[in-house]
Structure 1
Amino acid sequence: MKAATQRHRTRLLVLTGVVAGLLLFFGANAHLVYVAIQAQSECVDHLKMPDETRPGQFRAAKSAC
């Protein structure tokens, strides 16, 4: 009888750990989706045309501004 109780307790602990891990996983992903939707970046200054006088400066591939 004692072995059966121990086995049930172990199963409950494992199941609780799995459920907690899944909740953490889905909660973190839901937070990432929420932040991505809320972070609507506005138009940022960038080079419109290539400029050889300022090396290392990048321009947008397709400007939305």
Structure 2
Amino acid sequence: MENNIGATDRLTRIAVGLVLAVAGLATLGGLLGFGTTVGAVATLLGVVLVATGLVRMCLLYRLLGIDTSGSR
């Protein structure tokens, strides 16, 4: 599969994903009082953002025809 995530998009996904994952885990650990549902969703979303940033491929972008990599 071809990459469809560019350098800026990649770094943004990884940075935001890490922040969300850490905040989600802190919420699940009881350090932040946002509730377990919000913590679980934030953690999951953070992990997905980091993963798509690392592999430089987003299935949602592919479905929507978006390509930020500049390869097209």
* TM-score scaled by length of structure 1: 0.37
Which structure has more helix as a fraction of its residues?
A: 2
Structure with the greater alpha carbon radius of gyration: 1
